[in-house]
Amino acid sequence: MPVAEHDESAADAAPAIRFDRVSVTFGGVRALDGVSFEVDRGEVHCLAGENGSGKSTLIKVVAGVYRPEPGAHMEYFGRPETTVTPQLARRRGVAVIWQDLALFPEMTVAENIAFDHLVGGMRLVEHGAIRKIAESALARLGVDLDLGARLNKLPIARRQLAAIARALASDAKLIFMDEPTASLTQAETDMLLDVVRTLSASGVAIVFVSHRLAEVLEVSSRATVLRDGRLVGVFEAAGLSQTRLTELMTGKQFDQRISARSFAAAPAVLSVEDLSRHGEYEGVNLALRAGEVVGLVGLIGAGRTELAHTLFGMTRPDRGAIRLNGRNIAFRNNRDAIAAGVAYVSEDRLALGLVQQQSIADNLVITRLRAISNAAGAISRAKKAAAVAKGVTDLAIKIGRPADAVSTLSGGNQQRVVLAKWLATSPKALILDCPTVGVDVGARDGIYRIIRRLAESGIAILLISDEVSEAFFNADRVLHMAAGRIVGDYDPRSVSLADLESAVYA
């Protein structure tokens, strides 16, 4: 039942939001280019696009965080607006569950859920009322959380539920969910999809953003597809297959060939046996062979990054053996691992992969300080410049000046800087944790080609990925990790992508 609240009855029939000609530019980069976006009341709408396609920017425009360039048409529930602030968007009934949740870890669960009732001028906090609001929001969700606990005591999946409850508590009529299932188990995801359906039936429109296309297509009625900041089109979900949706998002015919080859005979560079670390992973066996690309897929929280951290010497296993070229090793820290020939490209390039504020040059040489300095610790300017030049040419990084901050580069070029700094250490094994996150679709092929080239030079590569297709098309075999264990070992030549995806996302 749609909520009618405007005096003009014509507005009742209007869609929840209608946006036209939305353009946003950041420092010369066109993040959105004349995009239209329309969501009906009570509809579950999928907003699809690869990383960097402009999804988040569009959400922020609707939520009033970014202002589009002049000429855009913005309309909420039949009411046109010229300037939209976050407050106005919220008053019109728009709520966003950000991917980073934007919650307050030190405050209680109840306060987080009912936060909108704490914003504004000075009033008394009625803790009882706050609690009631939180309780009823949770009741609509059908979950139970400890309302008095501090939010930072909750595991990440439960915080996600708190974030959803917060949107419900603000009486939203249109909720954006940005990757809401990324950290949920299948049971939790099923429950969330049920909630989405219930909300939709009660007249709340939901815009669903997720890279798990199966669940998106299952729950949505229509899909708006963006690519490189432009609108590809709006499609009925009913007639859409996953493959077709992927093609629309990437703009490529998916005749992408499987590149898998066999390496059973090659010597194992890095192998682990019965590796366990309490609460992270359990009884892991795997072997990376020289020249081989091994994909590692699984849900967030399956223990992939935790395993990588141990292989990189940043955590120690409770049990099991790590062997490098057949020799047992125990890393005290990641410097030992780097010296032994293990390199790790973090999933979080912004916070961990690069020192964003510092220069391209410094980020390129940070792993090789000893090689460019003398015994006393003095850095040679000439050696540093040579090392920088080598990194830039080897990986064909497009830069202005080496002294520019690395944050000025595009995602793809930043990732090339990361790869260059690790290649400078001459690694034997390279762990890539979601290497194309935040890399433009067009630049991804370049990264894949580099990965393949590195493998051909004899480096053993572990390719951790959130997108099963990425591992499927770029790895020689794909390991599936779930709840800390490796539960499957697939050869892309003998399994279909759809089967693999349903195995991983099931």
Partner 1 sequence: MRDYLRTHEGEARLLAVLAGLVVFLSAASPSFLTAANLASLMNNSAINVIWAVGLLVVLISGGIDISFAVAASVVQYLCFYALMAVGGGDWLVGVVFAGAIGVAIGAVNAALIAGFRIISIVVTIATFNALFGLLMFATAGRSLYDLPNWWTERIEVVRLGDHAALALPVAAMAVAMASTWFLISRTTIGRQLYAFGDNPEGARRAGVATTPMQFIAYGWMGLMAGIGGLMQVNIVQEIVPNALIGRELDVLAAVVLGGARLGGGRGTVLGCFLGVLLVAITQNGLNLLGVSPYAFKMVIGLTILAAISLSGVDLAALATAKSGRRKLGRPD
Partner 2 sequence: MVDRIERHYAVFGRDVWGLLGFLALALIAFAAAAPQFLTAANFSSMAFQVSDLGLLTLAMLMPIISGGFNLAIIATANLSGLTLAWILNLNGGPQAGVLAFAGGAAAALAVGGASGAAMGATIAFLGAHPILASLAMMIFLRGLGEYLTRGGDISGFPDFLGEVGHGELLGVPVPMLVLVGAALFWHFLLSHTRHGFAVTMIGSNARAAEYSGVPVKRTITLVYALSGMMCALAGILMLTRFNSVRVGHGDSLLLVTVLACFLGGVDPFGGFGRVAPVFVALLILQTLSSGLNLLGANQHLSTAVWGLFLIAVMSLRWAGPVLAKLLKRTKE
Interacting residues toward partner 2 by CB under 8 A:
314, 334-335, 338, 344, 346, 351-358, 362, 366-367, 369-370, 373, 376-379, 401, 403, 421
Tokens of 493: 């030549």
Residue 139, binding choice from partner 2, partner 1, none, Cβ under 5 to 8 Å by partner class: none
Which is closer to partner 1, CB of 300 or CB of 487? 300
Residue 366, binding choice from partner 2, partner 1, none, Cβ under 5 to 8 Å by partner class: partner 2
C-alpha span between 148 and 423 (Å, rounded): 49
The structure tokens 């690869």 sit at 50
Rounded to the nearest whole angstrom, what is the least distance from the CB of residue 6 to partner 2 in the complex? 38
CB neighbours (10 Å) of residue 190? Answer: 13
Residue 123, binding choice from partner 2, partner 1, none, Cβ under 5 to 8 Å by partner class: partner 1
Which is closer to partner 1, CB of 303 or CB of 446? 303
DSSP 8-class letter at 492: G
Q: What's at 411, amino acid-wise? A: G
The structure tokens 């188990």 sit at 185
Question: Is 442:283 a contact under the CB 8 Å cutoff?
Answer: no
Residue 99, binding choice from partner 2, partner 1, none, Cβ under 5 to 8 Å by partner class: partner 1
Which is closer to partner 1, CB of 111 or CB of 292? 111
Interface residue list for partner 1 (CB under 8 A): 51-57, 63, 65, 86-87, 90, 96, 98-108, 111, 115-125, 148-150, 156, 182-183, 280, 300-301, 305-306, 309, 315, 347-348, 350-352, 411, 437-438
Question: Is 308:344 a contact under the CB 8 Å cutoff?
Answer: yes
Rounded to the nearest whole angstrom, what is the least distance from the CB of residue 176 to partner 1 in the complex? 12
User: Which residues, 6 or more positions from 162, have their beta carbon under 8 angstroms from its beta carbon?
Assistant: 103, 109, 112, 113, 145, 151, 154
CA-angle at 36, arms to 228 and 34, nearest 5°: 55
Rounded to the nearest whole angstrom, what is the least distance from the CB of residue 377 to partner 2 in the complex? 5
Residue 140, binding choice from partner 1, partner 2, none, Cβ under 5 to 8 Å by partner class: none
**Within 202-325, where are the H helices?**
213-219, 242-250, 304-311
Which is closer to partner 2, CB of 42 or CB of 353? 353
Which is closer to partner 1, CB of 91 or CB of 493? 91
Residue 228, binding choice from partner 1, partner 2, none, Cβ under 5 to 8 Å by partner class: none
Rounded to the nearest whole angstrom, what is the least distance from the CB of residue 101 to partner 1 in the complex? 7
Helix axes 411-423 and 381-394, enclosed angle (nearest 10): 120
Query: Following DSSP, what letter does each residue of 302-363 receive, concatenated?
Result: SSHHHHHHHHTTSS--SEEEEEETTEEE--SSHHHHHHHTEEEE-S-IIIIIS-TTSBHHHH
Residue 54, binding choice from partner 2, partner 1, none, Cβ under 5 to 8 Å by partner class: partner 1
Rounded to the nearest whole angstrom, what is the least distance from the CB of residue 352 to partner 2 in the complex? 5
Rounded to the nearest whole angstrom, what is the least distance from the CB of residue 118 to partner 1 in the complex? 5
